[in-house]
Structure 1
Amino acid sequence: MPTAIAVTSADLVLPPTDHQTPTAALLPHPDAQPLDAAVADMQVMVEQHGYVVALYPASLPAAHERRLHTVRSVLESDRIALLRLDLPPLGVAVLVRQLRQLSVCDFGAGVLASAARLLAHYVYAGALLHSVTRLDRVPVGLKSHAKSWVPGSQFGVLANPAPQLVRIGTGEQLAGPEFGTHLLVARGQSTSAWVTESLAPAWRVQSVVDSPLPAASPKWWGTAKLIEFAAFLPDISILYQLVASVRREICSWCGIDLIGDRCGFCSAPLVPPEPVQGTA
């Protein structure tokens, strides 16, 4: 069985791109599921899949995040990875689907969990906003705040991989990927055509696909009058090559294979090798 991928909201589970991509398990809010039921469900997942990689946005309510850690503590399991992501909701959904795609490949659970940090660098997540007065997750200058009060103002905002904000209509453009991507577009209460008619051609995306707007997006961006977007690598063979090309290490704490500088399961940093002492 492939490593189980779990999420904290059903709208973070995008439709699969092929018949092999498994779905993701849902880890409900504490108000929707008693603790004993949450523990039982997680235990079944661990028994069936061996390992569980749970991904959730950094904007997740504190009570929900505490529930995830409580379940792992009750089970006293080192087979549950809790990955907190700083991406906007649609970007989280994209990354979740990529890990779902890779979960059927020959990567161990430790490599799969630590691959989330690597693949996040290749997700260009942003939004078109009609106001930035309540945007607190991307740096906004005083001039932009002032201009957002002008009727008809629109802003292009990039949250990942590097924050950027431009005022639409000034000739400025968001820095896009220098590799082939597909663009996922989720419309809120905005009828602007800027994302599809300006951004997509400028970024030379290969395909534009509409998606429902995640429920957490208006709060994340500070307004419901938005269009969220995320450009991503759609080809599983490229995703596989990216992950496979990184040197694998062994976690010094839990002993699982990983890539990068931190274990996705126990969060222990990679210990650098001891320097070789010269002989006299």
Structure 2
Amino acid sequence: MALPPQDERTLPAVVLQDVDRRPLEQVLAELQSLTDQHGHVVVVCSGAVSPEVERRLHTVRSLLETDRIALFRPPLPPLGIAVLARQLRQLASCDLSPGVLASAGRLLTHYIHSGALLGSVARLDHVPVGLKAHAKSWMPGSQFGVVAHPVPQLVRIGPEATLDGPEFGTWLLVAKGQLPSDWVTGTLAPSWRVQGLRETQLPAESAGWWGTGRLTEFCAYLPDLSVLYQLVASVRQSRCHWCGIDVIGDRCVFCSATPPDYDAPRDGTSGHRRPTALGHRRARRALTG
């Protein structure tokens, strides 16, 4: 799901359609074209898609033998994925290097609060559901407020029902499904003290991710580009020792290398971490070339 631009600087998104159904040659050509056109590509993949999609993406990246494609699958519900992808599109207009921009996805994930109002939790797999809540989900008219990220929460909707929200100013994005959104807009939004509220369509994967079509999904997020940029720019940057790209965090999102640990050897022979599969291919080409 590609959300509409948040502001005039938000760059457009490219939606990869039917990655696991189209011929491999077509997907390969599409990713090759995007890489040639933009230099680097960050693929934000929802956890709701089938495992075949992720396998196909890894296959394409391997066949292209490139470390300019980053595959990012954050632990967020579908609407949260869409919000995070738009935030990265906002930041893409700034003077951030490809590695820092791609790494920013992991950082910004911590500032997203994603949840839903559900008519049933009987098939909810992504949030712990107690036996009492599971039994009550079969009662007609039952509704549940659920937060899946950053900390799982589940309450049965009633006069005293509350969900812990962000401790900083956010906007709330609401995607209405087959359940009225009155509790979300009338109770949750004021309790979270959101600074604004917007509505959008429900992502196609939401019903499968939440285990029911009777839902209204919501996501609290930081909308301002200046705030997003300040968050990312305030984090110390480092250079990946393997591919040389600038990153933030402890893992390069393009080549998957982690900083070498000279104090705690992993294989009993040296303090270097083992190279990635892409690194092995490069080493073989260097030796035989």
| Per-residue CA distance 1:160-208 (angstroms, 9 max, x = gap) | 1111111110513111011111110001101241000000000011111
Aligned equivalent of 2:193, options 204, 214, 222: 204
Would the aligned equivalents of 2:20 and 2:56 in 1 still touch at CA under 8 Å?
no
Larger radius of gyration: 2
The answer for the alignment partner of 1:3 in structure 2 is none
1:237 aligns with 2:226: yes
List runs of 5+ in structure 2 lacking aligned partners: 265-289
Distance in 2 (CA, whole Å) between partners of 1:238 and 1:98 is: 11
The answer for the alignment partner of 1:9 in structure 2 is none
Distance in 1 (CA, whole Å) between partners of 2:72 and 2:19 is: 18
Alignment of 1:38-57 (within 5 A): 38-57=27-46
1:127 aligns with 2:122: no
Q: Give the root-mean-square deviation of aligned CA atoms.
A: 1.5
SS at match of 2:73: strand
Deviation, structure 1 residue 127: 0.1
| Residues 192 and 97 of structure 1: CA distance in aligned 2, closer, same or farther (over 3 Å) | closer
Distance in 2 (CA, whole Å) between partners of 1:265 and 1:53 is: 9
Aligned equivalent of 1:152, options 123, 126, 141: 141
Query: What is the TM-score normalised by the length of structure 1?
Result: 0.91
The answer for the alignment partner of 2:205 in structure 1 is 216
Distance in 1 (CA, whole Å) between partners of 2:136 and 2:240 is: 49
Distance in 2 (CA, whole Å) between partners of 1:235 and 1:271 is: 36
The answer for the alignment partner of 1:8 in structure 2 is none
1:83 aligns with 2:72: yes
Would the aligned equivalents of 2:170 and 2:196 in 1 still touch at CA under 8 Å?
yes
Aligned equivalent of 2:99, options 104, 110, 123: 110
1:139 aligns with 2:141: no
More strand by percentage: 1
1:58 aligns with 2:47: yes
Distance in 2 (CA, whole Å) between partners of 1:161 and 1:40 is: 36
Query: What is the TM-score normalised by the length of structure 2?
Result: 0.88
The answer for the alignment partner of 2:276 in structure 1 is none
For 2:81, the aligned partner's letter is: V
| Per-residue CA distance 1:118-141 (angstroms, 9 max, x = gap) | 100101000000110000111111
Deviation, structure 1 residue 60: 1.5
> Could you tell me the percent identity over the aligned residues?
61
Distance in 2 (CA, whole Å) between partners of 1:113 and 1:30 is: 21
The answer for the alignment partner of 2:252 in structure 1 is 263
Worse-superposed segment, 168-177 or 115-124: 168-177
SS at match of 2:247: strand
Deviation, structure 1 residue 13: 0.7
The answer for the alignment partner of 1:6 in structure 2 is none
SS at match of 1:159: strand
SS at match of 1:66: helix
Distance in 2 (CA, whole Å) between partners of 1:180 and 1:273 is: 42
| Residues 173 and 270 of structure 1: CA distance in aligned 2, closer, same or farther (over 3 Å) | farther
Would the aligned equivalents of 2:174 and 2:198 in 1 still touch at CA under 8 Å?
yes
For 2:237, the aligned partner's letter is: R
Deviation, structure 1 residue 246: 0.4
The answer for the alignment partner of 2:155 in structure 1 is 166
Deviation, structure 1 residue 267: 1.9
